[in-house]
C-alpha cells in the first residue's frame, strides 16, 4: 500500500515530541541544565546585544526557518522560539550545535568581542553568560561565566562552571574537544567505558565526539574551569 504524506497524525506528533524531550532531558554538563546551580542576579542585556538576537540574525542571513534549524540541530522548535525571543539561553553544548548549523563560531553568540591582541577579565567583572529555570521558586537551572568574552575570533571558549548533584546517566556527543580542571568539590568523568573521579587540582582532556558524561560526584556542588574547542567552524 502506498504511504500518504501529509499532515502528521496525533500519534506521529506525540512520537516527535517524545524524541525532542529525550534529547533535552539528557546530556553532559554542557547540555543538561540540572547539573548547574541557579545564580542571582544575572546581568540584563538589551535585545540588540542579546544571544537570541544574534542567533536570529545568523539564521535569517542563512535563509533558514526555525524548523530548518530544529532539523539541523535536534533542538526542539519550542526551545528555539524561546531562545530567539530571549526567554531562555541554551546550554553550551547546544550553542556548539547551533554554531555548526549556522556556520558560525559558538563564541560569536556569547559575545562577538573586538579585535585586540590581548583581553583581560578581572575577577569582579566576569560575565555571567546564562541562567534559566522553570520557576523562580525552583532550584533549577545553571550558570556559567565566560572568561574571554571580549576576544574576537577566539578558537577556545573558557568558562567557570558550577554544577550541582544530578542523577543523569546518559552519555552525549558533540563536535570538538574539552579540557576541565577541578577547582572545588569532586567530579565524575566518563569517556566511553573509562570512569575517573576527579578532585581539586585534577584535570581531564577528551574528544567530545566520543560518548562522554561529566557530573558532580557526591552530594556537594562542584566548581570547574572548562575550556571548549569546537573545531567544526
**Residues 31-55 pLDDT 10s:** 555 555 444 333 333 434 688 888 9
* Average pLDDT rounded to a whole number, residues 129-157: 62
Phi and psi for 26 in degrees, rounded to 5?
-125, 160
Q: Which has the closest alpha carbon to 161: 132, 181, 175, 135?
A: 181
Q: Which has the closest alpha carbon to 24: 223, 211, 170?
A: 170
* pLDDT of the residue at 203: 98
Which three cell numbers, joined as nine digits, stand for 161? 562552571
Phi and psi for 15 in degrees, rounded to 5?
-65, -40
Considering the segment(s) 13-229 as one domain, its CATH architecture is Sandwich (2.60)
* pLDDT of the residue at 229: 86
* Global pTM value: 0.67
- pLDDT digit string, tens, across residues 59-109: 999 999 999 999 999 899 999 999 999 887 777 778 888 888 998 887 778
Strand (E) or helix (H) holding 159? strand 157-163
Return the higher-pLDDT residue of 196 and 232.
196
Whole-angstrom distance, CA of residue 158 vs CA of residue 26: 23
Least confident of 12-16, 71-75, 81-85, 139-143: 139-143
Which three cell numbers, joined as nine digits, stand for 202? 585534577
Give the distance, in angstroms, between the CA of residue 141 and the centroid of all CA atoms in the same chain: 12
Return the higher-pLDDT residue of 226 and 116.
226
pLDDT at 180 over 90: yes
Least confident of 17-21, 68-72, 169-173: 17-21
Whole-angstrom distance, CA of residue 176 vs CA of residue 179: 11
* pLDDT of the residue at 90: 78
Whole-angstrom distance, CA of residue 32 vs CA of residue 142: 9
21 Cβ contact list (under 8 Å, min separation 6): 76
> CA torsion angle for 14, 19, 21, 23 (degrees, to 10)?
-170
Asked if residues 47 and 233 have their Cβ atoms less than 8 Å apart, the reply is: no
pLDDT at 27 over 70: no
SS (H, E, C) 178-209: EEEEEEECCEEEEECCEEEEECCCCEEEEECC
Q: What is the DSSP letter of 35?
A: G
Amino acid at each position: 500500500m502506498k504511504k500518504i504524506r501529509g499532515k502528521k497524525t496525533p500519534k506521529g506528533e506525540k512520537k516527535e515530541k517524545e524524541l525532542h524531550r529525550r534529547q533535552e532531558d539528557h546530556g553532559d554538563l554542557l547540555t543538561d541544565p540540572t547539573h548547574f546551580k541557579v545564580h542571582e542576579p544575572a546581568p540584563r542585556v538589551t535585545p540588540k546585544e542579546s544571544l537570541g538576537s544574534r542567533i536570529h540574525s545568523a539564521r535569517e542571513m542563512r535563509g533558514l526557518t526555525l524548523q530548518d534549524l530544529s532539523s539541523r540541530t535536534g533542538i526542539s522548535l519550542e526551545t528555539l522560539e524561546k531562545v530567539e525571543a530571549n526567554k531562555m539561553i541554551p546550554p553550551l553544548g547546544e550553542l556548539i550545535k547551533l554554531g555548526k548549523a549556522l556556520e558560525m563560531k559558538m563564541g560569536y553568540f556569547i559575545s562577538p568581542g573586538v579585535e585586540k591582541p590581548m583581553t583581560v577579565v578581572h575577577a569582579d567583572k566576569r560575565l555571567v553568560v546564562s541562567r534559566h529555570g522553570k520557576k523562580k521558586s525552583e532550584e533549577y537551572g545553571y550558570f556559567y561565566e565566560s572568561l574571554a568574552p571580549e576576544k574576537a575570533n577566539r578558537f577556545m571558549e573558557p568558562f567557570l562552571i558550577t554544577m550541582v548533584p544530578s542523577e543523569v546517566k546518559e552519555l552525549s556527543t558533540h563536535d570538538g574537544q574539552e579540557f576541565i580542571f577541578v577547582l572545588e568539590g569532586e567530579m565524575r568523568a566518563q569517556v566511553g567505558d573509562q570512569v575517573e573521579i576527579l578532585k581539586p587540582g585534577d584535570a581531564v582532556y577528551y574528544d567530545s565526539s566520543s560518548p562522554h558524561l561529566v557530573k558532580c560526584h557526591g552530594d556537594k556542588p562542584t566548581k570547574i574551569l572548562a575550556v571548549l574547542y569546537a573545531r567544526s567552524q
